[in-house]
Amino acid sequence: MKLRRQSLLTEPPASATSDIAFILIIFFLVCASVQQEDGRPQEIPNSDKEQQAKNPIRVNLERDHVKLNGEVLAMKTFRDKVGKLLAQKVNEAEKTVSIRCSPTVPYQRWMDVTAWIEDAGGTIALMRKVQ
């Protein structure tokens, strides 16, 4: 007499697939939204406010050097000097620093310089050539 072996195959419950899929949805959505967006806020007034500042501090930013009110300075000296200049100013309008930037200056350098000015209490105003 032949004995039939009992089959051991068990199917996973079909109702569980929806739960798995929903967990996958949540996983992918969370992954998509976890992009680092930390940074620095920056206030750049529009052109009307730029004109309000009568004698702004002038900064010329070049690829290899920086000028503060026409004087060529090393980066470290610039940071100290601009801090001292801004500390002497009393009202907000006087703390406007107008930046004229050479077209080849990289973003990293621009961010460094503007961050120093803002940390010293200055307000950035962009000066660009009208094309």
Partner 1 sequence: MILQRRQMSADVPAMAMGDIAFLLLIFFIILARVTDDSHVKVNKADGTELQKPQSKRVGIAIDTNQVTYLNGVRINPDMISDALYKPDAPPGQRGLLGDQPPGQRTVLLKIDKDTPASMFEPVIEAVSRAGGELHHVLEEKMN
> Do 44 and 125 meet the contact criterion of CB atoms below 8 Å apart?
yes
Site string for partner 1, 71-110 (x = CB under 8 A): ------------------------------xxxxxxxx-x
Give the type of residue at 73: L
- With CB under 8 A as the contact rule, the residue among 4, 6, 8, 43 that binds partner 1 is 43
Task: Kindly state the smallest distance separating residue 14's Cβ from partner 1, in Å.
Answer: 5
Rg (CA), the chain: 30
Dist CA 32 CA 38 (whole Å):
16
Stretch that binds partner 1, among 1-9, 37-45, 73-81, 87-95 (CB under 8 A): 37-45
Cα–Cα distances (Å) from 54 to 12, 57, 91, 96, 129, in that order, read: 77, 10, 12, 9, 19
Indicate whether 115 belongs to the interface with partner 1 (CB under 8 A): yes
> Do 85 and 122 meet the contact criterion of CB atoms below 8 Å apart?
no
- With CB under 8 A as the contact rule, the residue among 29, 72, 75, 87 that binds partner 1 is 29
Residues near partner 1 (CB under 8 A) are 14-15, 17-18, 20-22, 24-25, 28-29, 32-33, 35-46, 61, 101-108, 110-112, 115, 126, 128
